[in-house]
């Protein structure tokens, strides 16, 4: 696939993930409505619905990503302080973060990029009040540009974050063989693996920063495994369960108690 074809396909893929987000949001809405109130539950559905509409034409209003991030900005301004805030793209947007910490706040959007989040959300006041930020961004930057993120790219993006919270950076997930074949001329996992090495290096240069690998490693040649969903990009339920465990362990490394769900009953 040529670069232009890849960029177009990446844009279409990013907005098509909205339907996946709607389904995930619906699965957790009943619990959110009970524990957090209808405002947050409605915000989850509204954000996913905006994302599912797809990208607007260049001359007819903001892109679907801009709309989704705008939704998150409104949610952030109307949210109570949270000890841990999650910032990510579709993997985090489809995750019930309360399974990691009951009072966590999820400011994630399908198709989210490091570039867009660093421009618009990294300065949000609710981030300064948090004890820790859990971040999983960058996959869509690599997918869009077919270029690995460098340590300088990561350092520039992370520099936009407040200095007070601890950071837990989750590595970018690898893709299966079919997804690998159709993006970035078959080099997507290689680019993701390079980006993860650069992310880990950038984390070492920042105080109170910890890196945890994604449950699905970016391997070459690409492999399909039980931790991947059918689209070979997102995580399966088993993949999410392992991700929850790794995030809890990472938060504990940073001194933030994150007991397993069974220990909170």
Would you say residue 261 lies in a domain? no
Separation CA 247–CA 256 (nearest Å): 11
How much is the pLDDT for 73?
65
Given this model, what pLDDT does residue 42 score?
A: 42
Longest CA span, the chain = 52
Give the model's pLDDT for residue 77. 61
The DSSP annotation for 7-70 comes to HHHHHHHHHHHHHHHHHHHHHHHHHHHHHT-HHHHHHHHHHHHHHHT-PPPTTSS--HHHHHHH
pLDDT band at 83 (very low <50, low <70, confident <90, very high): confident
Q: In this structure, is residue 264 part of a structural domain?
A: no
With a cut of 80, say whether residue 71 has pLDDT above it: no
Residue 56 inside a domain? The answer is yes
- 205 exposure class (CB count in 10 Å sphere: 0-12, 13-18, 19+): exposed
CATH of the domain at 221: 3.40.50.1110
Which stretch of DSSP H or E encloses residue 210?
strand 209-212
State how far the Cα of 81 lies from the Cα of 79, in Å rounded to an integer.
6
- In this structure, is residue 70 part of a structural domain? yes
User: Distance between CA 105 and CA 212 in Å, rounded?
Assistant: 20
**Is 265 among the domain residues?**
no
List strands edge to edge, sheet with 166-170: 105-106, 84-88, 132-136, 166-170, 209-212
Q: What is the mean pLDDT of residues 115-125?
A: 80
Range of the domain at 125: 3-255
- Beta strands (DSSP E) in 116-202 are 132-136, 166-170
Report residue 144's pLDDT band, with 50, 70 and 90 as the boundaries.
very high
Cα 92 to Cα 135: distance, rounded to the nearest angstrom: 9
Domain assignment present for residue 260? The answer is: no
pLDDT at residue 80, rounded to an integer: 57
- The pTM assigned to this predicted structure is 0.73
pLDDT at 254: 94
| Domain annotation covers residue 163 | yes
pLDDT score, position 76: 60
Query: How many folded domains does the chain comprise?
Result: 1
Mean pLDDT within 88-109: 90
Residue 65 pLDDT level (bands cut at 50, 70, 90): low
Tell whether 262 is covered by a domain.
no
pLDDT at residue 74, as a whole number? 66
Please say if the pLDDT value at position 225 is more than 80: yes
């Amino acid at each position: 696939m040529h670069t232009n074809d890849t960029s177009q396909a990446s844009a279409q893929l990013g907005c098509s993930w909205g339907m996946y987000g709607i389904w995930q949001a619906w699965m957790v809405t009943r619990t959110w409505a009970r524990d957090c109130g209808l405002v947050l539950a409605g915000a989850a559905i509204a954000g996913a619905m905006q994302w599912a509409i797809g990208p607007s034409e260049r001359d007819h209003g903001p892109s679907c990503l801009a709309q989704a991030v705008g939704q998150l900005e409104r949610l952030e301004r109307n949210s109570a302080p949270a000890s841990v805030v999650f910032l990510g793209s579709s993997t985090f947007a489809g995750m019930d973060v309360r399974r990691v910490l009951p009072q966590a706040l999820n400011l994630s959007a399908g198709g989210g990029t490091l570039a867009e989040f660093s421009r618009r959300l990294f300065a949000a006041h609710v981030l300064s009040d948090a004890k820790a930020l859990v971040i999983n961004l960058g996959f869509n930057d690599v997918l869009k540009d077919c270029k690995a993120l460098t340590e300088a790219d990561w350092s520039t993006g992370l520099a936009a974050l407040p200095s007070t919270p601890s950071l837990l950076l989750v590595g970018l997930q690898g893709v299966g063989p079919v997804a690998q074949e159709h993006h970035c001329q078959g080099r997507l996992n290689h680019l993701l693996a390079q980006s993860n090495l650069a992310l880990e290096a950038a984390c070492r240069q920042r105080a109170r920063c910890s890196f945890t690998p994604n449950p699905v490693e970016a391997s070459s040649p690409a492999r399909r495994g039980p931790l991947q969903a059918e689209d070979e990009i997102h995580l399966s339920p088993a993949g999410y369960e392992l991700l929850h465990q790794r995030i809890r362990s990472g938060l504990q490394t940073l001194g933030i108690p994150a007991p397993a769900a069974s220990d909170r009953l």
